[in-house]
Amino acid sequence: MDLELRDRVAIVAASSQGLGKAVALGLASEGARLSLCARTAKTLEATAEEIRKATGAEVLARPMDVTNYEQVKAFAKETLERFGQVDICVTNAGGPPSKTFAATTVEDWQAGVNLNLMSTLYFAREVLPLMQKQRWGRLIAITSVAVKQPIDNLILSNAVRSAVSGLVKSLANEYAAANVLVNNVCPGFTQTARLEELAAKRAAAEGA
């Protein structure tokens, strides 16, 4: 299937492993040029090289922290300078730790907001004006099925990802006239390192 993405430029956040890596590989397979970021330089570069070899795609890879606005700004600017445009942006980040409400701290909540909500906001601030100007763009936020039905012991993720969903739905209305589509993707249980970590913690807690 040709999704008409050849030579489009796609930013994919947290793309060294898991869902982010799968998205990046899928876009590269369709002919998109990629700008990838993640926190761990070694893992990120290994993923970038794997995608280059598998697809022949042009890949820019930069280690960075999506909770740092200055780093997001610099990354978006470098992407624009390298490729001349930004057509697609997939926001993504790992989830907050598994906890009950009673076990959370105020610091946990602040970290969760920064990790999922603010990181999405940072990318949106940088890429949406570019997409609006060129009158074509796709902003896609990877959230969770938890925005539809909360998951036990994931109260941080349940709350913060629902905020992301509200932001994205609002942006969809605001930018539709510029031919910019803004969507949430709400995956359920997928065998990633994140899911394995959560399963291990639950098994330990239950002695299973």
Contacts for 115 with CB less than 8 Å, ≥ 6 apart: 66, 67, 93, 94, 95, 96, 160
Which 8-state DSSP code applies to residue 99?
Answer: B
Would you state the pLDDT for residue 195?
Answer: 67
- Tens digit of each residue's pLDDT (9 = 90 or more) over 3-26: 889 999 999 999 999 999 999 999
Using 50, 70 and 90 to split pLDDT, how confident is the model at 135?
very high
Would you state the pLDDT for residue 194?
Answer: 66
| Secondary structure (DSSP) of 7-63 | T-EEEESS-SSHHHHHHHHHHHHTT-EEEEEES-HHHHHHHHHHHHHHH---EEEEE
In a domain, 83, yes or no: yes
In a domain, 4, yes or no: no
Q: Please count the CA atoms within 13 angstroms of the CA of 133 that sit on its side-chain side.
A: 8
Range of the domain at 50: 9-206
- Tens digit of each residue's pLDDT (9 = 90 or more) over 172-200: 999 999 999 999 999 877 776 666 777 77
In a domain, 3, yes or no: no
Question: Residue 44 maps to which CATH number?
Answer: 3.40.50.720
In a domain, 161, yes or no: yes
- Tens digit of each residue's pLDDT (9 = 90 or more) over 55-95: 999 999 999 999 999 999 999 999 999 999 999 999 999 88
Query: Is pLDDT larger for residue 189 or for residue 99?
Result: 99
Query: Is pLDDT larger for residue 198 or for residue 113?
Result: 113
- Tens digit of each residue's pLDDT (9 = 90 or more) over 37-58: 999 999 999 999 999 999 999 9
In a domain, 170, yes or no: yes
In a domain, 1, yes or no: no
**Into how many domains does the chain fold?**
1
Would you state the pLDDT for residue 35?
Answer: 98
| Model pTM above 0.95 | no
Instruction: Check whether 167 has a pLDDT greater than 90.
Output: yes
In a domain, 136, yes or no: yes
In a domain, 184, yes or no: yes
Name beta bridge partners: 89.
11, 139
